[in-house]
């Protein structure tokens, strides 16, 4: 599921570095019709270290994608695949050398995306012993972890999880025949999935991640129409497979909010009835305090969404709208094209998985402010309530308890 990003004035330049033929990912990146326009170049495959250490002075690339195979980039791992005894310290030394080359190359790019190491599923390894001792699959886990640790402190180098692409492509993700014929290791579906993740990664680095999820209530956050059934009878939690599915969807939303994504409601309902369900239903995981704002009324949802983003001081391009009703989704897409409206399954058991698969919330970094954003909006909402209850602006300002610290300008507070 692709994210939406703001258009740039000129295509961003992506440079591919690999030890195999990855032209297919370049075609997917360059040819997809999207607001994010990319132009793609590549170094000759099989010259990874040279491409990292001896850059073309005329390159001027924005982003780098480095895709290698562990048995090629790490000679010791290649010996392990032949079941020869290996020195793991030597293996880790080779990973350090590779990571050092990546660190030296990072100043040439806004960001470098390094593809994690995988093996074809037909390499069974040591069978029962693959996750013991120096078993092949255990070593694969170790080298990926070591590479991750080596790159942890590099603020502009990110490791992409290629195993997800292999699983999505299925048993034919790696093709021995393609390798012998064209030195291409992977099925086109792997490259398509990889291109989607690279696009999401670029969007995250550019700061285009979505910051707000606006959800419907009836048959989206819970099962049934609360105005007809009463809050006691909506399907949520309990010994009910659909109730469990709605609860897991709420759990996934809650997890997003902990990552700094704001939650809001746009629902055609009686506000008092809906809020009663949110506050009183014993299985309700999301309560009123979890939502930064809401519009629960009978007005046009597109108008309500525009009001919500204005209230929260966010652009429409920061919002995602989720609704089980296809007509409502179509209305918002037409009226507010900047809002991302993903297709949504009719089957509620798929809702949590659809949400978890969205790439538009990917972020290149996290801050303490991200985690505290919901609390900041809740505090702001409470201040507004207090402001409306006191007699004057001066009295309201006194209730805020604001403290002002004055200090000299310095490098530390710049």
pLDDT computed for residue 396 by the predictor: 74
- Give the pLDDT of residue 398: 80
The pTM for the full model equals 0.84
Out of 3-17, 230-244, 331-345, least confident range: 3-17
pLDDT at 345: 96
Query: Looking at the predicted structure, is the pLDDT value of residue 372 above 70?
Result: no
Mean pLDDT across the stretch 7-34?
87
Of the two residues 390 and 187, the one the predictor is more confident about is 187
* Sheet containing 262-268, strands listed edge to edge, beginning at the edge strand earlier in sequence: 293-297, 262-268, 212-215, 319-322
pLDDT 10s digits, 54-105: 866 556 789 999 999 999 999 999 999 999 999 999 999 999 999 999 999 9
The position carrying tokens 């008092």 is 272
pLDDT in tens, 113-149: 999 999 998 898 888 999 999 999 999 999 999 999 9
How far is C-alpha 305 from the geometric centre of its chain's CA atoms?
A: 23
**Residue 249, number of CB atoms within 10 A of its CB:** 27
Per-residue pLDDT, 1: 47
- CB atoms < 10 A from the CB of 387, how many? 15
Q: How confident is the model at residue 393 (pLDDT cuts 50, 70, 90)?
A: confident
**258 in Cβ contact with 343 (< 8 Å):** no
Q: What is the pLDDT of residue 8?
A: 45
Output the pLDDT for position 32. 83
Q: What per-residue confidence (pLDDT) applies to 414?
A: 62
Position 6 pLDDT exceeds 70:
no
CA 236 to chain centre: 27
How far apart CA 190 and CA 186 sit, in angstroms, is 6
Tell me the pLDDT band of 255, cut-offs 50, 70 and 90: very high
Mean per-residue pLDDT over the chain, rounded? 90
Per-residue confidence band for 371, with pLDDT thresholds at 50, 70 and 90:
low
Cβ-based neighbour number of residue 182 at 10 Å: 13
pLDDT of residue 388: 58
Residues 6+ positions from 293 with CB-CB distance below 8 Å = 264, 265, 308, 311, 312, 377, 381
Residue 383: per-residue pLDDT: 58
- pLDDT tens-digit series, residues 181-210: 999 999 999 999 999 999 999 999 999 999
Distances (CA, A) of 183 to 46, 123, 173, 186: 10, 18, 14, 9
Please give the Cα distance from 89 to 414 (Å, whole number). 43
């Amino acid at each position: 599921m692709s994210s939406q990003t703001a258009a740039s004035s000129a295509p961003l330049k992506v440079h591919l570095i690999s030890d195999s033929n990855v032209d297919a990912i370049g075609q997917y990146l360059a040819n997809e019709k999207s607001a994010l326009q990319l132009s793609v170049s590549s170094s000759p495959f099989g010259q990874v270290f040279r491409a990292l250490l001896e850059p073309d002075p005329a390159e001027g690339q924005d982003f780098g994608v480095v895709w290698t195979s562990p048995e090629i980039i790490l000679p010791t791992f290649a010996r392990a695949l032949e079941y020869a005894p290996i020195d793991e310290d030597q293996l880790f030394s080779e990973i350090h050398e590779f990571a050092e080359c990546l660190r030296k190359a990072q100043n040439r790019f806004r960001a470098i995306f390094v593809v994690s190491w995988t093996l074809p599923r037909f390499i069974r390894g040591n069978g029962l012993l693959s996750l013991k001792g120096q078993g092949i699959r255990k070593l694969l886990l170790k080298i990926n972890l070591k590479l991750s640790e080596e790159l942890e402190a590099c603020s502009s180098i990110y490791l992409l999880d290629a195993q997800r692409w292999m699983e999505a492509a299925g048993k034919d993700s790696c093709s021995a025949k393609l390798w012998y014929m064209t030195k291409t290791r992977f099925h086109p579906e792997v490259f398509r999935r990889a291109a989607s993740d690279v696009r999401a990664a670029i969007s995250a680095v550019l700061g285009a991640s979505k910051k707000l999820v606006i959800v419907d209530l009836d048959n989206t956050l819970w099962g049934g129409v609360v105005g007809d059934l009463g809050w006691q009878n909506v399907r949520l939690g309990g010994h009910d497979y659909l109730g469990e599915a709605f609860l897991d969807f709420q759990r996934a939303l809650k997890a997003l909010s902990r990552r700094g994504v704001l939650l809001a409601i746009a629902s055609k309902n009686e506000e008092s009835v809906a809020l009663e369900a949110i506050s009183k239903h014993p299985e309700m995981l999301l309560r009123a305090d979890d939502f930064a704002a809401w519009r629960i009324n009978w007005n046009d949802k597109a108008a309500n969404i525009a009001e919500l983003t204005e209230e929260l001081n966010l652009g429409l391009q920061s919002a995602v709208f989720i609704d089980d009703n296809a007509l409502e989704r179509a209305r918002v897409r037409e009226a507010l094209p900047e809002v991302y409206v993903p297709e949504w399954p009719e089957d509620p058991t798929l809702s949590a998985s659809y949400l978890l698969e969205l790439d538009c919330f990917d972020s290149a970094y996290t801050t303490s402010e991200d985690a505290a954003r919901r609390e900041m909006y809740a505090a702001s909402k409470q201040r507004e309530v207090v402001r409306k209850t006191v007699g004057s602006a001066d009295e309201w300002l006194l209730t805020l308890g604001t403290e002002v610290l004055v200090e000299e300008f310095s490098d530390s507070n710049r």
